[in-house]
Chain A
Amino acid sequence: MIPENGSATLTTPAAEPREDRSSSDRPSRPIQILSEATIRFAGDSGDGMQLAGTQFTNTSALVGNDIATFPDYPAEIRAPAGTLAGVSGFQIHFSSTDIHTPGDELDALVVMNPAALKTNVKDLKPGGILIVNTDNFTPTDLEKARYARNPLEDGSLNNYRVIRVPIAKLTREAVSEFKLSPKEADRCKNFFALGLVYWLYERPLEPTLKWIHEKFAKNPQYVHANSAALKAGYNYGETLEISHVQYQVPRARLAPGTYRKITGNEATVLGLTAAALLSGRTLVYGSYPITPASPILEGLAEMRRYGVKTFQAEDEIAAVGIAIGASYGGAIGVTGTSGPGICLKSEAINLAVMTELPLVVIDVQRGGPSTGLPTKTEQADLLQALFGRNGDSPVAVVAPRSPADCFDMILEAVRIATQFMCPVFFLSDGYLANGAEPWRIPELARLPRLTITFATQPNSEGWNGPANEAAIDGEGGGAGKFLPYKRDARLVRPWAIPGTPGLEHRIGGLEKQDVTGNISYDPLNHEHMTRVRRQKIENIADTIPDLEVWGDPDADLLMVGWGGTYGAITTAVERLRRRGFKIAQTHFRYLNPMPKNTEAVLKRYRTILVPELNTGQLCWLLRAKYLVPAQPVSKVQGKPFLVSELESAVEKVLGLKSN
């Protein structure tokens, strides 16, 4: 049932809103069952395409499809209307099978103006459905999109099933009774377009109607108007039979459990909040707004009642300083940013390296260098995370492989930081951050335990003073002293927080004498400490899982990925194997230290391909560390890999096969 919508009566070609969508009522229109479909909403950045896409995603998730999304929007909030630079798109891949990517090619494309047509139509499959808002194809609109001739008239779209809809006009009519300004009325047209696509794919309207009711609760006329536009779009499809066939994508057979839709940034927020609850410690998140990391700060700001404190700092350096200070005080200190912010934080991250304090650094990578491509994805900060600081400066690095995996890996980052007293990089990216997929809500009992212990007692018993003679200060052993750099078997120093009686001590960024933590310029001590800091990070490998290898046991070729490319690589490997290629796949979620079996895995294969959204950073690292003939598969276009691009890369190496 569609919820009753007050006094709304529609003036669209549809006479009545459909009150009942039971099967008895259904017109005898053929329904084609698809295993999957990929669609994209594209329009001006003011056209509400991100909203339409998000709503379609939510509804598809709720009806039980597997989903993967790819929002793609310009850095400008409102580029000049109608221009190519201002086009914003939202792609959704929804299916009844297990999927890992937002899809290479589109089955259906909605374009709100010529600019959207021009920049998106190349991704539409031949024969694909193209829904065009014909109201925005005036000569001016065409000129803004640099079309010499009207593509709707020159035959250039003959390869597609073009559905022409005067969306702006129909929307205005649908909302005419709600006394909106023309501008406000036009803002409803994304809901009309959404309604149309809901009809095409047989989706229920209820979830979006419910969302409209909640979102615009304070403005009843917006509730009525947007609801009317949505229904008008749906009914327009139904009444005018814009397509001779409707499509259904049945629910996916996901593993039993309770699911929700989640983006990478949302999963990161939930993971950090869970870390606070699981450890019983306050989590302090210091951040300075930056695309595409800001939603983490915004999301955590809503988590105050869960033991999370957010701090919007005056700059990137302050943000990491806040996190370090919080860790020093016994909270879980986390800072988050994107690449340019990491540059600014480098010195402070090294302070945490030197003082051996826990610190989680989130880098939601975007296109670089410098300001680069703020809203586009890239994986080019790996070597920066590993090496972008002065001195020998080892830190742990982890990377989630899917939006939902952000939850698990941010918990891992917190675990490693607090158990090993070190900074941990969490390398997300713009694609993971904004992309969505279904997430099976974890059972509480199966969440990892995060046990944090602080030093409470002096620890000098059995210690007889510094081993080397260069120490000037604080010499001498004896019981009853607190030694801040006395390490356990894993080389981890104690976490002693201010407020603890008897453990008063001083730390800082100057080199430390081992055990005592006193300032030391002794050459041998510096070398010792440098090696200890590195070995401590290596010791993390004892606590992480081995690399998993999927695919053919007798494979000729290994595909090695890390982070957000997992979905595309996995799909490419599945397809290639179906075509008879013998290949295997592995994927790094832990980049420093790497899993203990890394070398053994790599040495098993003659050919190693490393697809990355950079010019070959992991590849470089693997070659340097393990002396293996790894070859890069690079893409640096601000976009994720298409599955077909990875298939071609393998074909190029192994030769074409056709079965």
Chain B
Amino acid sequence: MAVTTAPLPTLKPDDFKTDQEVRWCPGCGDYSILAQMKKALASLGIPREKMVFISGIGCSSRFPYYMNTYGFHTIHGRAPTIATGLRLANPDLLVWVVTGDGDGLSIGGNHLIHALRRNVDIKILLFNNEIYGLTKGQYSPSSRLGTLSKTSPGGSFETPVRPLSLALAAEATFVARTIDVDVQHMVHILQRAAHHKGSAFVEIYQNCKIFNDGVFEYATDKSVKADNLLYLEHGKPMLFGKDRNKGIRLNGLKPEVVEVGKDCGLDDILVHDESAEDPTLAYLLSRFVHDTSRDVARPFPEPVGVLRAVRKPTYEELLDARIADAIARKGRGKLEDLFKAEDVWTVE
């Protein structure tokens, strides 16, 4: 991120408001994300002109119009490429990519993988509502099996993408999940993503009031969510449940849900290590899915929080090092020597 010598700007969330009318449906989860983003950004001490929001196509991709920063509403699925190009031009910017499950996982899936693999210093927020909203209700690549939609009468029979698993498989250095209605958690996660050096991937569960209402109820309904979510904290045992007496234990390579005090002691519970170089455990966590289709005695909770946060050189840092190396070996290039690198001859 930018190192500024000027005093840090003191910004309020409202400073990020634009003069544009917000046009999401009433009750859309995107409103909450917009509000939490403004809070998170106000806390960063970075001037507004150094922030850029880049989006693709879809409901979520209207986001840049509502942020009083620089913004670029691009084309379907390609936001990571434009964000990468922007970082190549100016590595002094905080660049956010706002995408959805259709934009980021389907039409733009390839770019997502490669941006993460390269560790370009961009922050990718995937608003996952498990449905196509702007095109009025078709199933998406993250829709659960059986999702009823206009294009999946009788229920979707495609295996859904798991965004966190995909990000980890793509070697992402920062992988996290949060939920639209968990406002404090989201502000915290957005701040963490902003501070991460390298590409950050954040999946945000986002309710689509119109076409997929209630799909995350198990994670938002106060009466059940404690049993269905695992809030990850670095260095802390993985406990969950209303009474925080349930935990995750590793049995060989197989994770299992156990009851502390009954099946085992606290020492047997897996301790979360987001900074582990090896992403295997993070990947195991990414496979925990709230699954009501099977009769499971002890269902896994879905992890929220930071699954992985490791520091690796960014694409920009590595490229800059190559440039510095070329200059160190041969000097900064000038026009005078550009043309004469090859054999030349003179005609008098």
Q: Do A and B come from one complex?
A: yes
Query: Is A322 on the interface with B (CB-CB < 8 A)?
Result: yes
- Min Cβ gap A61→B in Å is 7
Q: Which of A303-352 contact B (CB under 8 A)?
A: 303-307, 309, 311, 313-315, 317-331, 333, 347-348, 351
Known: A62-B343, A325-B81, A504-B70. A331 touches B89 (CB 8 A): yes
Known: A61-B345, A305-B330, A318-B78. A329 touches B85 (CB 8 A): yes
- Min Cβ gap B343→A in Å is 6
Q: Which of A277, A348, A498 is within 8 Å of B75, CB to CB?
A: A348
Of A278, A325, A510, most B-chain CB atoms within 10 Å: A325
Q: Which of A207, A306, A503 is within 8 Å of B49, CB to CB?
A: A503
A506 near B344 with CB under 8 A, answer no
A residues near B72, Cβ cutoff 8 Å:
328, 355, 506-508
B residues near A319, Cβ cutoff 8 Å:
81
Q: Report the Cα distance A274→B333, complex, angstroms.
A: 10
Of B81, B326, B331, most A-chain CB atoms within 10 Å: B81
Contact with A along B45-76 (1 / 0, CB 8 A): 00111101010000000001100111111111
A474 near B345 with CB under 8 A, answer no
Query: Is B295 on the interface with A (CB-CB < 8 A)?
Result: no
Q: Report the Cα distance A59→B93, complex, angstroms.
A: 50
A303 near B333 with CB under 8 A, answer yes
A347 near B347 with CB under 8 A, answer no
Q: Which of A256, A286, A314 is within 8 Å of B347, CB to CB?
A: A256
Residue of B nearest to A317 (CB): B78
How many A-B residue contacts, CB cutoff 8 Å?
215
- Min Cβ gap A640→B in Å is 25
Q: Which of B204-221 contact A (CB under 8 A)?
A: none
Q: Report the Cα distance A518→B87, complex, angstroms.
A: 25
B residues near A61, Cβ cutoff 8 Å:
343, 345
A residues near B69, Cβ cutoff 8 Å:
504
Known: A277-B334, A321-B111, A351-B74. A304 touches B86 (CB 8 A): no
Query: Is B267 on the interface with A (CB-CB < 8 A)?
Result: no
Query: Is A230 on the interface with B (CB-CB < 8 A)?
Result: no
Residue of A nearest to B328 (CB): A305
Of A420-428, A440-448, A532-540, A571-579, the one with at least 4 CB within 8 A of chain B: A440-448
A residues near B49, Cβ cutoff 8 Å:
498-504
A residues near B76, Cβ cutoff 8 Å:
347
A residues near B322, Cβ cutoff 8 Å:
304
User: Main SS of the interface on chain B?
Assistant: mixed
Q: Which of A79-114 contact B (CB under 8 A)?
A: none
Query: Is A554 on the interface with B (CB-CB < 8 A)?
Result: no
B335 near A444 with CB under 8 A, answer yes
Q: Report the Cα distance A318→B79, complex, angstroms.
A: 9
Q: Which of B93, B110, B333, B345 is within 8 Å of A62, CB to CB?
A: B345
- Min Cβ gap A501→B in Å is 5
Query: Is B223 on the interface with A (CB-CB < 8 A)?
Result: no
Query: Is A164 on the interface with B (CB-CB < 8 A)?
Result: no
- Min Cβ gap A304→B in Å is 4
- Min Cβ gap B136→A in Å is 18
Known: A62-B343, A498-B49, A506-B64. A256 touches B348 (CB 8 A): yes
Q: Which of A254, A333, A506 is within 8 Å of B73, CB to CB?
A: A506
Q: Report the Cα distance A277→B333, complex, angstroms.
A: 8
Query: Is B10 on the interface with A (CB-CB < 8 A)?
Result: no
Residue of A nearest to B66 (CB): A506
Of B111, B113, B331, most A-chain CB atoms within 10 Å: B111
A residues near B88, Cβ cutoff 8 Å:
282, 284, 309, 311, 322, 325-326, 329, 331
A258 near B343 with CB under 8 A, answer no
B residues near A330, Cβ cutoff 8 Å:
89-90
Of B88, B326, B331, most A-chain CB atoms within 10 Å: B88
Q: Report the Cα distance A274→B52, complex, angstroms.
A: 30
Query: Is B278 on the interface with A (CB-CB < 8 A)?
Result: no
Of A318, A473, A501, A503, most B-chain CB atoms within 10 Å: A318
Q: Report the Cα distance A325→B65, complex, angstroms.
A: 17
B73 near A509 with CB under 8 A, answer yes
Q: Which of B21, B87, B344 is within 8 Å of A472, CB to CB?
A: B21
B347 near A325 with CB under 8 A, answer no
Q: Report the Cα distance A473→B20, complex, angstroms.
A: 5
Query: Is A58 on the interface with B (CB-CB < 8 A)?
Result: yes
- Min Cβ gap B155→A in Å is 32
Contact with A along B304-348 (1 / 0, CB 8 A): 000000000000000100110011001111111011101111111
- Min Cβ gap B180→A in Å is 23
Q: Report the Cα distance A254→B346, complex, angstroms.
A: 10
Query: Is B196 on the interface with A (CB-CB < 8 A)?
Result: no
Q: Report the Cα distance A519→B346, complex, angstroms.
A: 58
Query: Is B92 on the interface with A (CB-CB < 8 A)?
Result: yes
Q: Report the Cα distance A257→B323, complex, angstroms.
A: 32
- Min Cβ gap B252→A in Å is 37
Q: Report the Cα distance A613→B330, complex, angstroms.
A: 42
Query: Is B234 on the interface with A (CB-CB < 8 A)?
Result: no
Residue of B nearest to A61 (CB): B345
A518 near B339 with CB under 8 A, answer no
Q: Report the Cα distance A307→B70, complex, angstroms.
A: 25
Q: Which of B64, B74, B80, B347 is within 8 Å of A64, CB to CB?
A: B347
Known: A259-B346, A444-B336. A318 touches B20 (CB 8 A): no
Q: Report the Cα distance A264→B310, complex, angstroms.
A: 45
Q: Report the Cα distance A311→B50, complex, angstroms.
A: 23
B residues bordering A, Cβ < 8 Å? 18-21, 47-50, 52, 54, 64-65, 68-76, 78, 80-90, 92-93, 110-111, 113-114, 319, 322-323, 326-327, 330-336, 338-340, 342-348
7 further A-B contacts with Cβ under 8 Å, apart from A318-B110, A325-B87, are A207-B343, A256-B347, A258-B344, A314-B114, A473-B19, A499-B93, A509-B73
A sample of 24 cross-chain residue pairs with beta-carbon separation below 8 angstroms, ordered by A number, consists of A58-B343, A64-B345, A254-B347, A255-B347, A260-B344, A282-B88, A306-B334, A309-B319, A314-B110, A314-B114, A318-B110, A325-B83, A325-B88, A330-B89, A472-B21, A473-B21, A503-B49, A504-B68, A505-B70, A506-B73, A507-B72, A508-B64, A509-B73, A510-B73
Q: 6 shortest A-B CB distances, which residue pairs?
A: A325-B85, A321-B81, A508-B73, A329-B89, A306-B333, A331-B89
